[in-house]
Structure formats: C-alpha cells, structure tokens
C-alpha cells in the first residue's frame, strides 16, 4: 500500500469564485483558498485538494493523470516534481481552473493549452 505524500502547497489570496456544473455556472463570491498537491507513489497519478474558505468551506478534488514528455532546457536542480510529465487527463471537476494550471506549472508539470480555460 502506498503512502500519501504532500508534494506542494499554495495559499491563494481572495479571488472571485464561480461554481460550474452541467447546469451552467454561477458566481459564489470572493474567497481565499488553498491548493495541496498529493501523490500516492504512482509517478503518473496525482491529486489536487482545493479548499475554498467560503461560509460552507467547499472542497474540490482534482484527479490528474500524466505521461512522460520530452524535457526542454533549462532544467532545475534538483528537478521539480513535475519535470518530464505532461497532463493527459483530469477528473472531478467540469473544467480545469486557471489557478490549478498555474500551480501545476509552478511544480514543473507540462500542461498543454487544451487544458486552459
């Protein structure tokens, strides 16, 4: 059994939030939030836990699948957790939030343009 490992964390300042669903979308207010990137030992599956500090504290979980990709210079030393990994799929949300795309890129992951909103 694999052990849950925290890879990265980020606090997000107050940001206008919009809730999306198959029914459409609606603004829910301006809130602070936090992102935590987890891994269970599988080098190609990660998960983001996104906690939105609303009145009801909303929690979103975003499952992320990656494949090996070509590294392009310059590389960091030591390498960032996502270097050499490109997003191929996600699960748990209607559309990949810009805030999550930025967070993953900060960790060295390649996020193709098709995942940008």
**Model confidence over 14-51: pLDDT tens digits?**
999 988 888 888 999 999 999 999 998 888 999 999 99
Average pLDDT along the chain: 88
Nearest to 50 by CA among 99, 114, 116, 117: 99
Q: Are 33 and 51 in contact (CB under 8 A)?
A: yes
Say what the pLDDT of residue 23 is: 87
Q: 104: burial class by Cβ within 10 Å (0-12, 13-18, 19+)?
A: buried
- Please state the domain extents for the chain: 5-115
pTM of the model: 0.85
């Amino acid at each position: 059994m694999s052990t849950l490992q925290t890879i990265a964390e980020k606090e997000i300042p107050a940001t206008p939030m919009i809730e999306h669903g198959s029914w459409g979308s609606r603004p829910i207010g301006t809130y602070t939030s936090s992102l935590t990137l987890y891994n269970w030992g599988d080098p190609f599956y990660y998960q983001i836990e996104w906690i939105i500090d609303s009145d009801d504290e909303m929690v979103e979980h975003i499952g992320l699948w990656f494949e090996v990709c070509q590294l392009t210079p310059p590389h960091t030393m030591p390498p960032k957790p996502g270097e050499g990994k490109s997003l191929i799929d996600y699960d748990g949300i209607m559309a990949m939030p810009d805030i999550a795309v930025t967070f993953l890129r900060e960790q060295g992951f390649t996020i193709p343009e098709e995942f940008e909103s």
